[in-house]
Amino acid sequence: MDATTDGAPADPAAPPHGKPDGARGDERGLGTPLERLPGVGTSRARGLARLGLVTVADALVHFPRDYRDFSGVHAVSDLSPGEHASLAGDVTAVQTRTTAAGRPLLTVRLACRGGSVRARWFNMPFLARRFAVGMRVVIAGVPRRAAGGWEFAHPEIRWLSAGEVEHAAEWLAIYPLTEGVPQTHVRAAVQAALAHGADCAVEAFPATMLAAKGLLPIAEALRQIHLPADRARLDAARRRFVYQELFMLQLALRIHRGRQQARRAAPVSAVDARLDHRIRARFPFEFTAGQRRVAAEIATDMARGEPMNRLLQGDVGSGKTALAVYAMLATVATRVPGDDSAARYQAVLMAPTELLARQHTATVGRLLAGSGVDICLLVGGQPSRERKAAAARIADGRADIVIGTQALLASGVRFARPGLVVIDEQHRFGVLQRALLQQGDGDPHTLVMTATPIPRTIAHAVYGDLDVSLLDELPPGRKPVATYRVEPGQADDWWEFYASKVREGRQGYVIVPAVDDSPRGLASIASMFEQLANGPLEAFRIGLVHGRLKAAEREEVMDRFRSGDFDVLVATSLVEVGIDVPRATLMTIVDAESFGLAQLHQLRGRVARGGVRGICGAIVDDPSAPRPRIDAFVAPTDGFRLAEQDLLLRGAGDLVGTRQSGAPPLFLADLLRDTALVAEARGDALDLFQRDPLLSDPSLGRLRELIENRWGASLGLGR
């Protein structure tokens, strides 16, 4: 669901998230086409255009995704296979030959500190002319140990002029690429763009603010982010852009919230003791203390008349669904004021997958059986006639509770009286998607539920000013799942153990990391199925479910598994979230290292049950690959700790889904490292908003314009 709305700023010249916005249109040289710059040329420009780099402005804001140490500090004795290194050395031999396959191969031998190494390039015969015996160069790349000693294939190279010594600090920018556009082309274009246009970039911040915050001015920041003179200046440039990005987002959210509150048009749902009792009586269990507390928080929010904006965090299996249902029932029990008919508000529940939406529909349907509440499902996989009928019921208000996927965001779906939006297990629905659901005059209440403990600072950075509820206990009787790491050599033993547990009457999942919609992925899950059905699990009834099946087929397989028709379910990770089959207490995760930690934890949550202790085996494929994730996964720890580690391993940008194709992951990816800056930007944005909520001071003109361009359409901030 890669956030198309999130990634589509209203103004095509407005840079996506994380970009410095210096650069718009044809202002003063920024609009110069790259092909007019020295060293770019028509054919390179065509490649660059595929990366979205057409003008000088585009290149300036094409930020590096990483940097390589190019300092030449390493000695041969420092090398280890597969680990990036940079060496300075003297060229001792240059040789070009043609391989058996007919490819030209250039080999350059270098005498470095502590020994010699070889650098090799295929298909780049022209490069030979640039080397001569006796030259001094710095190479950077990933070495391997070959027959004749250490070898670098296609290293980055820097020629040192006579007498130049390698710097102790030289950082080489590594850019996001696309197929057929080499790093060198992008680097050259960016450098040409810097020379041509860095000084034309328009500063977003007033000079007083730059000074007060110690931020690098835009032109200097652009130069240092692309061509850092040293580590300190790189950090300063990065800090400026991270700060700018966070500050602008915070300000935009603050302005948005200000307008929301000014409207104060959210439904007023007074949940009195009677209604509270009536709602809770619908559940086949007592609410835990945690659920009672969160229900009270939700009830208080919903009675206030301004939109609830609440994030509910709770580990997998902590019982968040009950709270969604609680809030939804409070909503549909609320009469629309001034309406003389008995019209009630509608509640919307958005799930990340169709399967989950269907399961929620079944769960809610069971809970509300006989209540007269109309529950309506809308998902992409429905026949279009069904979908249209659902949309009609949503639009004319017959539907009370609407459950669906992002198909609900499709244009054409209009809600008669939206009172509440619940977003389940989907931290990737950012604030902008939520804004989309806020149609009509008023703003509905919003409840976002996630099993991923987004640290408060990050939650604030991404969701803005929201309140956080925590469900920090599991319903009674839940036990942690016993988790094992299974090395490749132990797979047979594992399957034997797994089979013995199935024989005891447990049901189990086998999760295969197939890419659902690729033929190769499909083949791998099919072959796993064959292997198990003809091997260790041949005694059992096995179901197979994956993303290529039609929704109805998938639903049938799931139903049969749920009803015990199948002992084992081989599935792709689409069972990841929310699926609830009480007897399923076994799980094997194949190629576990290809899943993220949060995902592994979500998967394992499927077999965390009351009564019987769940068992989970994570089979790893490659015994030598580093596996900090798997190590963290099998260590006894709770989901929250785990997800925090996941954040550290993956970077927050990925977690919160702000990372978009084309946008540099660098900046948001370090939200965790930059927590202090998040807090600072937030505080500053609030200050500024309080001083000048309309940003009417002339020195803020550029800032206001940038915010409107970037967020205006999605947050309704336009003039």
Q: Is 495 in the site for ligand ADP (CB under 6 A)?
A: no
Residue span 412-451 as binding mask against ligand ADP, x where in contact by CB under 6 A, dash where not: ---------------------------------------x
Number of residues that bind ligand ADP (CB under 6 A): 17
Question: How far, in Å, are 173, 225, 288, 377 from residue 66 at the CA level?
Answer: 6, 10, 46, 44
Of 318-326, 342-350, 490-498, 666-674, the segment contacting ligand ADP by CB under 6 A is: 318-326
Of 37-45, 310-318, 338-346, 365-373, the segment contacting ligand ADP by CB under 6 A is: 310-318
By beta-carbon proximity to ligand ADP, the closer residue of 286 and 538 is 286
How far apart CA 165 and CA 71 sit, in angstroms, is 10
- Phi and psi based region of residue 52 (left: phi greater than 0; alpha: psi -120 to 50; beta: remaining): left
- Phi and psi based region of residue 477 (left: phi greater than 0; alpha: psi -120 to 50; beta: remaining): left
By beta-carbon proximity to ligand ADP, the closer residue of 202 and 468 is 468
Structure tokens at 250: 């915070």
The per-type count for the chain, helices as H runs and strands as E runs, is 24, 22
Edge-to-edge strand ranges of the sheet holding 615-619? 482-486, 615-619, 584-589, 507-511, 568-571, 542-545
Bridge-based pairing of strands 136-141 and 156-159 is antiparallel
Whether 189 contacts 34, CB under 8 Å:
yes
Partner that binds at residue 291, options Mg ion, ligand ADP, none, CB closer than 5 to 8 Å by kind: ligand ADP
Q: Is 321 in the site for ligand ADP (CB under 6 A)?
A: yes
By beta-carbon proximity to ligand ADP, the closer residue of 423 and 514 is 423
By beta-carbon proximity to ligand ADP, the closer residue of 346 and 602 is 602
Q: Is 288 in the site for ligand ADP (CB under 6 A)?
A: yes
How far apart CA 683 and CA 254 sit, in angstroms, is 11
Whether 323 contacts 294, CB under 8 Å:
yes
By beta-carbon proximity to Mg ion, the closer residue of 76 and 584 is 584
To the nearest whole angstrom, how small is the minimum distance from the Cβ of residue 631 to ligand ADP?
A: 24
Of 313-321, 329-337, 371-379, 488-496, the segment contacting ligand ADP by CB under 6 A is: 313-321
By beta-carbon proximity to ligand ADP, the closer residue of 32 and 318 is 318
Q: Is 228 in the site for Mg ion (CB under 5 A)?
A: no
Whether 545 contacts 558, CB under 8 Å:
yes
Q: What 3-state class would DSSP assign to 374?
A: coil
How many Cβ atoms sit within 10 Å of the Cβ of residue 639? 25
Whether 54 contacts 48, CB under 8 Å:
yes
Residue span 563-592 as binding mask against Mg ion, x where in contact by CB under 5 A, dash where not: ---------------x--------------
Partner that binds at residue 287, options Mg ion, ligand ADP, none, CB closer than 5 to 8 Å by kind: ligand ADP
To the nearest whole angstrom, how small is the minimum distance from the Cβ of residue 596 to Mg ion?
A: 18
Q: Which of 89, 267, 317, 453 binds ligand ADP (CB under 6 A)?
A: 317
- Kindly give the residue spans of alpha helices, DSSP state H, lying in 406-490: 431-437, 456-463
Q: Is 318 in the site for ligand ADP (CB under 6 A)?
A: yes
Structure tokens at 441: 């005059």
Q: Which of 137, 316, 421, 532 binds ligand ADP (CB under 6 A)?
A: 316
To the nearest whole angstrom, how small is the minimum distance from the Cβ of residue 640 to ligand ADP?
A: 13
Q: Which of 580, 591, 621, 680 binds ligand ADP (CB under 6 A)?
A: 580
Cα–Cα nearest to 127, from 142, 137, 117: 137
Q: What is the DSSP letter of 144?
A: E
Contact residues toward Mg ion (CB under 5 A) are 578
Contact residues toward ligand ADP (CB under 6 A) are 285-288, 291, 314, 316-322, 451, 475, 578, 580
